[in-house]
Amino acid sequence: MCYFLCYCYRMKLTETDGNKNTRRTDAHSTRDAVKYQKVYDGRKRRIRSLWKRGGAFYAQLSLPNEDGIRKVRRVKLDGVTVAAATDEMRRMVIDRNDDQLPAMVRKPKFDDYAQDYIDREYALGRKTDRTLNTESGHINFWRKQFGETRLNKITPKMIQEGLIRKKATGVSPRTLNLSLTTLRNVLRSAIDEGWMVESPARLIKWYKVPSKNRQLFTSEQLELLCESAKKETANHQLFCDFVRFLCFSGARIGEAMPLSWADVDFNAEQVLIGRNGDTKNKEFRVVDFNPSLRAHLQAMRKRRTQELWLFPSAQRGRKGEHSESIRESLLLARAHAKLDHIRFHDCRHHFISYCVMSGIDFMTIAKWVGHKDGGMLIGRTYGHLANEHTKRAAQKVSFG
C-alpha cells in the first residue's frame, strides 16, 4: 500500500499513457504550424517559390540587399488566398527584374527618418528658416502619430486618422493641407532614397479651403495710411517709403527690408530682389520699373542720408544697419486711418491686383512676385478682377 501511494503521489497527471500520446500530437501540431509548407494549386501542382506558414503566404525570391547583392529571402505577402498570393509574387518578380523593388532591408522608423529629413533640410539651406520652422512643427505632429512605425507600414488610413485628430484641434483646412504637404515631402524623400516604392499619402485628398473675399487695398487708402503715419509716428518717412515700395514692387516684407541701393539699377530700370537668398524660395528675381516704382525710387534717392540701405534703421545703436521692423508704426497709422484690417502683406495684394486690372498677363506678374507656377495661383485668386476689368473696358468700345 505504501509503495502504491508513493508511486501515485510522485506521478504527474501528464505521465499517463493517454496524456503522453496527446502531448506528442500537440507538439507535432505546433511544429507543423510554424514550419514553412509547400503550396499547391487547384490541380495539386506545386507552386514554385510560394510557401505558407501559419495563415500567411511567403514568396521565396532572390532579392537585392542595400549593396545590390542578391540573396534568397522569404518575403511575407499580403494576399490571403493562393490565387492572390501567386499574383502578388509574380508582380514582385516583374518589379525585381525591372529594378523597381526597393532594397530588401529593414526600413527605418518614421520617427528617426523624419528627424533626419528635417535636420538635412536645415543643413542644405534650400528653404528659408521660417519655412523650415513651420515644416518642423508639422513633422513633430506626424512623429507623434506614427512613432516607431516603419516607413513601409504607414497606411493611408493611418494618415487620414492623423488628419482627423489634427482637425479636431480646430486648425484651418489650409493648415491641414500644409501638414499633408510636409508629410508628402518626407515620404517623397524616402522614395528617392529607395526606402519606399510609392507614397501612401498620394491617396489622401486635399481639404477644400474656402476662398477669402479680400478687400482691395486701394491707392486712396495707401495715401490715407501715409497721411496718418505723419501724424502718429516719428519715423513716418521711413514707414511711407517702405509701404509705397511694397505696393509698387510686390515684394514681401522680409525681402524688402534688407535691400541696398546696389540692388537698384536705374540704367536697366530694375530692382534685384533676393541677391543674398532672402526670398521665400531662396532664388533671386528681377522686378522691372513701373512708372510709380521709378518715381518713388528716384524721390528716395534724392533725399537719402546714406549710401547703403534703402530702409536704414532709425533705432539708436543700429546706425549703418537696415531696419528690422516697423510694425509698431503700421499699428499706429492704421488705427488713426481706421484701416485696422490692413497688413503689410496687403501691399503685395495691392501690387498684384493693380497689375491684373492693368491688363498684365498672369505669367509676367508671377515672375515679378516670385511665384513658380507660371501664374496659376494669380489666375485662381485674382481672375475675377481681370474679368471685371475686361467688362468695363468693353463698355468703352465705340463704333461711331
236 and 373 housed in the same domain: yes
So what's the pLDDT on residue 195? 86
Q: Is 333 helix (H, G, I), strand (E, B) or coil?
A: helix
The percentage of residues in the chain with a pLDDT greater than 90, rounded to a whole number, is 48
Q: What is the pLDDT of residue 100?
A: 64
Q: Which domain holds residue 182?
A: 110-203
Q: Are residues 48 and 27 in the same domain?
A: no
What pLDDT sits at residue 315?
Answer: 59
Residues 141 and 248 in one domain: no
The domain that holds 226 is classified in CATH as: 1.10.443.10
On whether the CB atoms of residues 50 and 92 are closer than 8 A, the answer is no
Helical H segments across the chain, by residue range = 2-10, 17-34, 82-97, 110-124, 129-146, 156-168, 173-192, 219-232, 236-249, 253-256, 291-302, 327-337, 345-357, 362-369, 376-394
- Tell me, what's the pLDDT at 115? 93
- 254 SS3 class: helix
The reply to whether 85 and 181 lie within a common domain is no
**Amino acid at residue number 341:** H
Q: Could you give the CA distance from residue 136 to residue 124 in angstroms, rounded to a whole number?
A: 15
Summarize the confidence of residues 131-160 as an average pLDDT: 93
Q: Which pLDDT score, from 0 to 100, does residue 25 have?
A: 47
What is the distance between the alpha carbons of residues 23 and 251, in angstroms, rounded to a whole number? 82
How high is the pLDDT of residue 305? 80
Same domain? For 226 and 355 the reply is yes
**266 and 379 share a domain?**
yes
Instruction: Write down the pLDDT at residue 16.
Output: 46
Is the pLDDT reported for residue 316 higher than 60? Answer: no
How would residue 91 be classed by pLDDT, with cut points 50, 70 and 90?
confident
pLDDT tens-digit readout, 39-82: 999 889 999 989 998 889 998 888 766 555 677 878 888 889 99
Q: H or E segment at 47?
A: strand 46-53
166-181 mean pLDDT: 94
Q: How many domains does the chain have?
A: 4
**Residue of 212, 217, 233, 176 whose CA lies nearest to 345:** 217
> What CATH number should be reported for the domain holding residue 175?
1.10.150.130
What pLDDT, in 10s, does the model give residues 254-310?
Answer: 899 989 999 999 999 999 998 876 677 668 899 999 999 999 999 999 988 877 889
